[in-house]
Amino acid sequence: MISVIMPVYNTENYIWEAIESILSQSFFDFEFIIIDDCSTDNSYEICEQYSKKDSRIKLYRNQENRWISYTRNKLISLTSTNYIVNQDSDDISLKNRLELSFNFLEN
């Protein structure tokens, strides 16, 4: 199993593609942990919609804007697997990213 972590801050124009690229992976055994760092746009609401549809998504929100380093460290502390993959909220992963990563790390 893999933990995919994604810090989010004001990326409403891109976040749906980032989330979709993880949810449509060829490798299914993962948890997807997202922390919104007090976005002022609709990023959190978009994440919330996805979290209601897919139980692999664990959604959190910082109480105040803490910036990327704090948020990424908090994400790491919330993982429950041996392997952690970072996904930026304005990035897209290829369909086999997790599968290739897992196979490489296992071998």
Q: 14-57 pLDDT, tens per residue?
A: 999 999 999 999 999 999 999 999 999 999 999 999 999 999 99
Give Cβ neighbours of residue 40 (< 8 Å, ≥ 6 apart): 10
pTM for the full predicted model:
0.96
For residues 23 and 30, what is the distance between their CA atoms, to the nearest angstrom?
Answer: 9
| Percent of the chain that is helix, strand, coil (3-state, to 5) | 40, 20, 40
Residue 2 · residue 29 · CB < 8 Å: yes
Q: Backbone phi, then psi, for 5, in 5-degree steps?
A: -115, 140
pLDDT confidence bin for 12, thresholds 50/70/90: very high
Which residues are paired to 86 by β-bridges? 5
What is the CA angle 5-100-21, rounded to 5? 50
Interval 53-107: pLDDT, tens: 999 999 999 999 999 999 999 999 999 999 999 999 999 999 999 999 999 999 9
